[in-house]
């Protein structure tokens, strides 16, 4: 399969830092300064998101059925996937207000199956931002959906264990990547790219991932995208043993840990797009003051320009002691 040139020679950490420093003083996404109110989400978009939420609920039930089938048969009923699940993934990935959609889904309690759909949706969004289309985008959707299919071969007691796993249990859990690769390889209608995505989505750019400690150039582009989507949704979701991490804390954590962990092009694109939608939103700074994001720094996504309640403009790029603590309003 033809791959985008942007993945052929990944940027080094030093190159990324030089790029960021070169552009740190300009190239902002600009909102109208002085706007006192946020733009409200259109009523028809709210209705669309509620429809999609219902659709994802139904698709999650289908994913559960499919995973149970794979657990018994060790093969994927691909026709059912194409009919019952892929259409909702494609529809959800077209929503321009991604936060609102995932806010609706955040507190649902069927994480195990919903996670696969949400990773597919986020992966498709990232793929579009990176210029994917046609067959590549379709493959990426399928790869996101089946990235954890290997967990169907993990014992149920281990999947549902709440306490800390033993070292042997961790080793077994990590094998879901290998199991997934084999299951997908045994499904004739699925490509090698989809199989490699299941195998490699826990690899890291610095070679510290699993199962094979691959480095950047050895990792399939789809797996790099799914890695970002997987981490974002896992951190953002309510689980039986943890609360959902607030949106801004998630993207801050991903920004702080990007070196070595994520593909630089993918994570920078993702963070830029996710923070771009915050322009016009009310935020709380770590000094206790509130303001509205009026500019988004394209190259340092978390260093926005804020208009404070008293009208004063603060550029977080120029005031490193300040940072956004929390997004207060979205709708």
d(CA 214, CA 195): 16
On whether the CB atoms of residues 140 and 251 are closer than 8 A, the answer is no
Helix (H, G, I), strand (E, B) or coil at 324: strand
Structure token digits, residue 229: 């989507």
Burial class (CB in 10 A: 0-12, 13-18, 19+), 61: middle
Work out the number of other CB atoms within 10 angstroms of the CB of residue 143: 29
d(CA 313, CA 130): 32
d(CA 177, CA 330): 36
List residues bridging with 307 in a β-sheet. Answer: 292, 313
On whether the CB atoms of residues 144 and 119 are closer than 8 A, the answer is yes
DSSP state of 262: S
Q: Please compute Rg for the chain using Cα positions.
A: 20
Structure token digits, residue 80: 């059912």
Structure token digits, residue 22: 């070169």
Residues assigned a catalytic role: 151
On whether the CB atoms of residues 279 and 31 are closer than 8 A, the answer is yes
d(CA 198, CA 196): 5
187: Cβ contacts below 8 Å, ≥ 6 apart: 75, 76, 78
Would you give the distance in Å from CA 94 to the centre of its chain? 15
């Amino acid at each position: 399969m033809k791959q985008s040139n942007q993945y052929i020679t990944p940027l080094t950490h030093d190159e990324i830092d030089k790029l960021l420093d070169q552009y740190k003083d300009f190239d902002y996404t600009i909102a109208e300064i002085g706007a006192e109110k946020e733009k409200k989400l259109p009523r028809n978009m709210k209705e669309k998101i509620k429809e999609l939420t219902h659709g994802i609920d139904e698709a999650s039930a289908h994913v559960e059925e499919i995973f149970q089938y794979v657990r018994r048969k060790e093969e994927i009923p691909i026709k059912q996937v194409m009919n019952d699940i892929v259409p909702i993934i494609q529809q959800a990935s077209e929503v321009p207000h991604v936060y609102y959609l995932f806010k609706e889904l955040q507190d649902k309690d069927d994480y195990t199956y919903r996670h696969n759909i949400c990773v597919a949706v986020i992966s498709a969004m990232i793929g579009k931002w990176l210029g994917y289309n046609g067959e590549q985008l379709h493959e990426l959707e399928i790869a996101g959906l089946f990235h954890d299919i290997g967990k169907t071969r993990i014992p149920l007691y281990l999947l549902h264990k709440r306490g800390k796993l033993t070292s042997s249990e961790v080793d077994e859990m990590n094998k879901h990547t290998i199991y997934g690769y084999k299951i997908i390889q045994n499904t004739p209608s699925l490509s090698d790219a989809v199989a490699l995505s299941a195998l490699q989505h826990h690899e890291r750019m610095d070679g510290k991932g699993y199962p094979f400690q691959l480095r950047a150039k050895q990792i399939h582009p789809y797996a790099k995208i799914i890695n970002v989507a997987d981490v974002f949704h896992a951190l953002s979701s309510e689980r039986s043993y943890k609360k959902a991490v607030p949106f801004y804390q998630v993207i801050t954590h991903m920004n702080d840990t990007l070196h070595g962990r994520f593909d630089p092009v993918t994570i920078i694109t993702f963070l830029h797009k996710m923070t771009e939608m915050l322009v016009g939103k009310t935020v709380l700074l770590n000094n206790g003051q509130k303001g509205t994001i009026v500019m988004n720094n394209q190259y340092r996504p978390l260093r926005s320009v804020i208009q404070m309640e008293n009208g004063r403009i603060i550029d977080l790029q120029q005031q490193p002691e300040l940072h956004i603590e929390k997004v207060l309003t979205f709708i």
